[in-house]
A and B are shown apart, each in its own frame.
Chain A
Amino acid sequence: MPKIPDFVVPPPLRKPAKPGQGGTSKGQAPADLKTAPPVRPSHGERFAGQAKEAPVDVLAWVDQRTAASGFLTGLLYRKVPKGTNWFYTLGSATLFAFIVQAVTGVFLAMYYTPSTTQAYASITHINNDVPLGQFVHGMHKWGASVMVILVFLHMGRTFFFGAYKYPRELNWVIGVVLLILTMTMAFTGYLLPFDQRSFWASIVGININGTGPIVGPYLSDFLRAGPELGATTLARFYSIHMLLVPGAIIALIGAHMYLVVKLGTTAPPWTKIDKPKIAAPVAQLDAGVESNGASPGNGASPA
């Protein structure tokens, strides 16, 4: 990775130096300023200097008022365990899939009409008439499947790497809620094109919800907004699909990622623990062992 030149990164955001290595000290004048007396710069030099400083000034202005640099440094330079590999990108990939769904969904909503008489026509209009409409609709449609698949892969990674164990149980629970919300998105989104397939698939899906004892019948009535699938059902599914669940998903993703940063990630289960190097046992020093492993009895394990 190319090194970012120091002058574009404000001092608080620079990578902190390792202990005992010097590096760029925060806010301190460079050493050469102390020895060489300052030379009055020309206009051009001063302008160039100011232009160079401008991004730093802007970032410093924001940082002075938000104190965000401490948080950002902690977030961006946090330690990851040895053995971190491509499987660890599945969570970010899921997040990316969600962002794709959110962005394409916002633009689809500009053309879609959630009415039983116009929904199908508006989808046809998006696909056939709107420039790039079929592309954006396709991204949303296929992206939905991609997101569901990625959620399960991410869940599998967490399970098989044992990353759900203490202290990360709460993050597993949040993840399960996110899984259910993702399924809710997939279920409610399926009805929206309002063609034969989505109509009958939603009827089947609602009836599966209804097979739960005692609360099932009321749940399916709630989903349909009545005894039969009708106009209110579509509006209701649309509202759940684009307002209720996305809000909940965004909030829970925030909590999920906060805990990831706060608790750190786990090493893969096959990673060997680095044994700390232990100094020679005191008993050997007392016995006056001088040569490097030449004397008998200087074995690996003390008696």
Chain B
Amino acid sequence: MALNIIVCIKSIPSTVNVGVDAEGRPKIAGVPVAMNPFDEFAVEAAVRLKESVPGSTTTALTVGSDAAAEVLREAIARGMDAGALVTGAEFEGGDSFATSLALSAALKKLHAEKPVSLVIFGKNTSDAGAGVVGTQTAAWLDWASASAIKKIEAIDETSVTVLRMMEDGVDTLKLALPACISTVKEINEPRLPSLKGKMASKKAVFPKWTAADLGLQAGQVGAAGAGAVVVKASLPPARPAGLKIEGATAKEKAAKLVDILVERKLI
């Protein structure tokens, strides 16, 4: 048994502490990009599967500009084997609906070349933060999906058994392969890139696929294919100035705080 594992990753601004430009858009020009932090856990999960099932292959997949190739290099530095870049002006401005369609088309291509076992996603991205692209990608492919996965318990040629972290406990699920899972950070502790990995990442060459290469029309992806569009970004309203509790003793401060909370009907 050998697995073919794909990890979908995203290149995002390296900080979420961004402002708004004059046109009402996030001011991200010039902000350095990095791999979405949650994707590190997905990459590590793939590398661990490869280590436990000899002969397996791991491929990182991303939709982005040419610069997004850097996050594919990061994935290789962290132990993955290969990468593929879905790129072109037609993909710009896509929402989760359009981007998941692009990913599903790329996965179809990979699946035709060599059957895919499992596709792993991070919990969500730090920029848009919806946490839905993994499940949407599975829906386009009509593959099984599960989110909030904290452990891959077992995997064979036909199925994967996973633990899902729900609000009130843990579900155990068995998904038929191929399947898409979205992970939470409890799944592992990612290792840092190794020296060997860094060397490999420098030499790596990635195939680049446009919409046409994936059998998609330009109007299906990017801003044209988006179902939900941001018309304006703004800063959140400033919070009203706060109150400082003063008091000679801790007991006095505690009593004052409780007074205010009672007055505001919070207790």
Q: Do A and B bind each other?
A: no
User: Residues of B at under 8 Å CB distance from A?
Assistant: none
